[in-house]
Amino acid sequence: GDSVTQMEGPVTLSEEAFLTINCTYTATGYPSLFWYVQYPGEGLQLLLKATKADDKGSNKGFEATYRKETTSFHLEKGSVQVSDSAVYFCALPNYGGSQGNLIFGKGTKLSVKP
């Protein structure tokens, strides 16, 4: 079935460092791809999305490009801030089966130190 694999954390960076969180997927066809973020003590919120190959999703300085050749959707940010400390989840829609409307990766915890 469809699945998402993302790099395991935790990831600890200093403020203004460059961030990459890897995500690869297995899916039939070319689904939309998502990054959700969960700040401490909060629910998940959509960070960015891409709906087709070569699309770049962006929001709050974060970017991710939908690469069908490598089945990847890596999250990047050029200069992280302490406020970016959160857990990041890569996800794709499930169009069948019993996995619900979104299939999530296990999450990558990011801690940014001042």
Partner 1 sequence: ETGVTQSPTHLIKTRGQQVTLRCSSQSGHNTVSWYQQALGQGPQFIFQYYREEENGRGNFPPRFSGLQFPNYSSELNVNALELDDSALYLCASSSGRANTGELFFGEGSRLTVL
> Which residues does 39 contact at the CB level (< 8 Å), separation at least 6?
45, 85, 86
Q: How far is it, in rounded angstroms, from Cα 22 to Cα 63?
A: 12
Q: How far is it, in rounded angstroms, from Cα 54 to Cα 85?
A: 28
Q: Which of residues 40-99 bind partner 1 (CB under 8 A)?
A: 41-46, 49, 89, 91-95, 98-99
Binding mask 23-42 for partner 1 (x = CB under 8 A): --------xx-x------xx
- Cβ atoms of 45 and 37 closer than 8 Å: yes
Q: How far is the CB of 24 from partner 1 (least distance, A)?
A: 15
| Residue closer to partner 1, measured from CB, 37 or 80 | 37
- Site residues, partner 1 (CB under 8 A): 31-32, 34, 41-46, 49, 89, 91-95, 98-102, 104-107
